[in-house]
Structure 1
Amino acid sequence: MHSPRQIQVFEYDSLNIGTKKGKVEFKKKHFRALVKLNELHGNKYFTVGLNKITFKHYVGVLQVHDVCIEVLPKADRSSADEGAWQNALIEMLRVTRRLKVNQVDHANVTKQSKHLLDIYFEWYLNEVQKLMHQGLIKKYYRKQGNLNTLKGKLVFAKQISQNLIHKERFYTEHQVYDKDHLIHQILNQALGIIEQFTRGGYLYGKCKSIQLDFPEVKAIQATAATFDKLVLGRKEQPYTTALEIARLIILNFAPNVKSGSEKMIALLFDMNNLWEEYILVHLKKAFRDDEVQVLGQRSKTFWNGITIRPDIVIRKGDHTAMIIDTKWKIIDQYKPSTNDLRQMYVYNEYWKSTQAILLYPSNKEKVTAVKQFEPIKDKGENHSCGLAWINILEGGRINDNFSSDLKRVLGF
């Protein structure tokens, strides 16, 4: 496999068979493979049309055959280029701790790293390298097998079935203390996937070097259940980050899609969730020196066990100062959807808040608009809903004042 060629698209863009992005052509084999990949994930990543793929609200990176497709977010219909939005995506992943890079700048990630997949692969290789430098841990585990001496306990059923003729052998179960345990088997599986996807690229040599120095362990095919049963004690804590990245790589790798011999990987993130978490982190930063609580994921029972949950609740003392719902979408002429307004009205009622805000992304300054809900006859205090926009990019670059701007547009 040669170093992949890259196609960059924005969310909700379409790719037709025969479309060319620079020198890279989106071919029928890419289309067929992506259709099968989408089916593996419940058809949630994109909509399949006649000879075309239309992306949804999932952003990130896919690689299939010799093509790497980067799906970028875009806050509005401005002409900001792919580079600016690639940096914006990396910054959002960094802030929400889905990606560890020191600074959002191509030169500081690596000069040769051209797409998100490379960045994740390099992060993983660095983590494994760090663990090897610190010294890989040994663990006890139970092992069964034929031995020439009696060690541990004899497994009678296997001894009878396998060693009836070979009286000199003992089929035993015994305890082993070495590096061939589940954690290292998972790390090794992820290294094998990275090796397949970096052939011909600048990371291939680094990956092969790590594989050569890595202890020989049993090959496994880890699944979500494998990761769910992992329990990390104090001794295993240094492995946490490497295992998180390994999980992302292994569970998003599709080696068994039968469309020729291609292998595919998709690291895609729901932009709605990413936007919500990005806002939450920045709000906590903006209010860290104030007597204000910024809370996320707070639910209340609504009806018959059904709960409702605003994205963010801001509390001052013992009362709710504001409810915020983040919306990763473009609206025209200050007209939110009726469903969104109904939702905010209910949030205000249940959290006893006098103001709710629908918070949208933007690339240009917009004035926050606050309107009162129409009062209900014979009802006491009324409350309002506002629309607010926050700039992600400033002059084609990441908005460095995002936290303070966020506080300002919310009226604090």
Structure 2
Amino acid sequence: MRTTDNNGGKKLISFDNPNINDLSCIANRTLVDLQKDNPDLLVFPQSLGQYRDDVEKSHIFSLDEENLTTYNLMGFIGRNTSQLSISSRFAKDDKNDYFLHYMLQKVFSLNLLKFDQTANEENIWDFLLYLFPHYLKKAYSQGLYKAYRREEYNDANIKGAIDVKRHILRNIPFMGKIAYTTREHSYNNNLTQLIRHTIEYIKTHRFGSGILTNDSEVRDIVSKFNFVTQNSYNKNSRQKIISSNLKPFSHPYFTEYAMLQKICLKILRHEKITFGKEKDKVYGLLFDGAWLWEEYLNTFLKDEFIHPENKTGKNRHYLFENFQSIYPDFISRAEPKSVGDAKYMPLGRQHSYSENSERATSIYYKTIAYMYRFNSDNGFLLFPNEETSFFETYKIKETSGILKKIGLAIPQSSENFKEFIKTMNENEIELKLNLLTKERAIAQQRYI
């Protein structure tokens, strides 16, 4: 089954549908609730609920009578043999979800022009390949992981416990060699072997070689893992290595390897997970569209705008003198200050909400509060808009404040991914120039 994000309840489901029972077990439940008992459900950002970002409170979809309503989450989820794929609402068709792939490549610093998506659940797991280089670099930043492992030797340089049974089998008649075992602290261990097997698997993928060679840092890290596992890597031992890594990784120092292990296992075991071998378990891969959209905007606005990060505390600000942390999505580096919010939801029309509406609070009021905090007359909302760019200015009554809604045009008629990228680059430049031009105009008006 397929639908798009923010579908407005337009996906109709018949209660005669054989998937209805499985879908009902997923519907109307928060992510944090689903993840408790379903380790095969992977959600990004992976810091779910740790930073008061409310992602953990999100529903993947709701089911009411015959309507299936989706929100900001995109990706793939399933239970038993029932599977639901949620594309971005800007996907041209089932085959070409260019926008989601484009944002993932920008956020995770990849550049794959030769991209051809196929219309099946397999392409959802392709997204894991985008994540692998990012988390490989994060893990390697803590160094190569070392662990104790049992090694077997048969030579004259005995330095461990003699293995009598193996010695009798291999060294009779005696020729000067002794069979023995040692416990060594080694870079060549089950976890580094898992990473090596994942690297070799990715090489066989249709655009895997580009993922491993696109970045010089990734190439260097891959060569390090190849070197430390070169004497023991065996393609035929892949299932054994997977089994030895099924226990979640935990280490007080090498903390970044935990997520890398999880991604490697999902890449290598995706067929088992996709087709639901474990009865009644929920499995899948999901991306929070609001998080992805915000991080994507930062890739081309970061030179002119500060992007506070509530996940790291970087560029934290306070609403009051010394308490109540706030994190506007974007704050201009230049004076006078302007502040803006990234909104993944459709905002391409003027809409009035009731005064107690949570929608109005999330869309308008928060940004206006940030404007007041930074003594700014200029606020803006950035959202994706289908096909054409969008620009509207709203004057805040009886003040000098202005709130702008700016829509980045998402092309719908690109013949291929390369053409889509070219058009997106042009639209990004247009949005950036338009935004900065408006900033300068307001600055000039303020100081005249």
Q: Which of the five TM-score ranges fits, normalised by the shorter chain?
A: 0.5 to 0.7
- Is the 1:61–1:266 Cα contact (8 Å) retained in structure 2? yes
The aligned counterpart of 2:364 is 341
The aligned counterpart of 1:295 is 307
Alignment of 1:27 onto 2:52: no
RMSD: 5.2
Tell me: CA distance 1:112–1:385, structure 2 relative to 1, closer, same or farther (3 Å): closer
The aligned counterpart of 2:338 is 322
For 2:106 and 2:333, the matched residues in 1 are separated by: 23
For 2:130 and 2:348, the matched residues in 1 are separated by: 40
Tell me: CA distance 1:299–1:84, structure 2 relative to 1, closer, same or farther (3 Å): farther
Tell me: CA distance 1:91–1:67, structure 2 relative to 1, closer, same or farther (3 Å): farther
Tell me: CA distance 1:254–1:321, structure 2 relative to 1, closer, same or farther (3 Å): farther
Alignment TM-score, normalising by the size of structure 1: 0.61
Structure 2 counterparts to residues 14-163 of structure 1, below 5 A? 18=14, 27-28=19-20, 30-31=22-23, 34=26, 39-41=33-35, 44-49=59-64, 53-66=68-81, 68-74=83-89, 81-83=92-94, 86-97=97-108, 100=110, 102-103=112-113, 105-106=115-116, 115-120=122-127, 141-142=147-148
The aligned counterpart of 1:182 is 191
* CA distances 1:77-103 after superposition (whole Å, capped 9, x unpaired): xxx7324861111111111118x5612
The aligned counterpart of 2:172 is none
3-state secondary structure, aligned to 2:351: coil
For 1:345 and 1:138, the matched residues in 2 are separated by: 47
For 1:124 and 1:324, the matched residues in 2 are separated by: 28
Alignment TM-score, normalising by the size of structure 2: 0.57
**Identity level (%):** 14
For 1:67 and 1:299, the matched residues in 2 are separated by: 43
Structure 2 counterparts to residues 204-219 of structure 1, below 5 A? 211-212=235-236, 214=238, 217=241, 219=244
- Is the 2:332–2:339 Cα contact (8 Å) retained in structure 1? yes
The aligned counterpart of 1:362 is 385
The aligned counterpart of 2:279 is 261
Query: How big is the shift at 1:56?
Result: 2.3
Query: How big is the shift at 1:408?
Result: 3.4
* CA distances 1:365-410 after superposition (whole Å, capped 9, x unpaired): 355222333346xxxxx43211211101253563331321211332
The aligned counterpart of 2:224 is none
Structure 2 counterparts to residues 195-206 of structure 1, below 5 A? none
Tell me: CA distance 1:329–1:103, structure 2 relative to 1, closer, same or farther (3 Å): same
In the alignment, structure 1 segments of 5+ residues that lack a partner are 1-6, 128-136, 154-171, 204-208, 233-238, 377-381
Tell me: CA distance 1:28–1:349, structure 2 relative to 1, closer, same or farther (3 Å): closer
* CA distances 1:153-209 after superposition (whole Å, capped 9, x unpaired): 9xxxxxxxxxxxxxxxxxx994354633434357779999x9xxx9xxxx9xxxxx9
3-state secondary structure, aligned to 1:388: strand
Alignment of 1:405 onto 2:420: no
- Is the 2:149–2:189 Cα contact (8 Å) retained in structure 1? no
For 2:262 and 2:282, the matched residues in 1 are separated by: 19
For 1:308 and 1:125, the matched residues in 2 are separated by: 31
For 2:133 and 2:319, the matched residues in 1 are separated by: 47
Query: How big is the shift at 1:269?
Result: 0.8
Find 1:270's aligned residue among 261, 281, 288: 288
The aligned counterpart of 1:385 is 403
For 2:63 and 2:119, the matched residues in 1 are separated by: 33
Tell me: CA distance 1:349–1:70, structure 2 relative to 1, closer, same or farther (3 Å): same
3-state secondary structure, aligned to 1:175: strand
Tell me: CA distance 1:277–1:11, structure 2 relative to 1, closer, same or farther (3 Å): same
3-state secondary structure, aligned to 2:294: helix
* Larger strand fraction of residues: 1
For 1:57 and 1:121, the matched residues in 2 are separated by: 19
For 2:401 and 2:375, the matched residues in 1 are separated by: 9
Tell me: CA distance 1:215–1:101, structure 2 relative to 1, closer, same or farther (3 Å): farther
Query: How big is the shift at 1:279?
Result: 1.3
- Is the 2:343–2:381 Cα contact (8 Å) retained in structure 1? yes
Query: How big is the shift at 1:219?
Result: 1.4
For 1:266 and 1:45, the matched residues in 2 are separated by: 11
- Is the 1:314–1:322 Cα contact (8 Å) retained in structure 2? yes
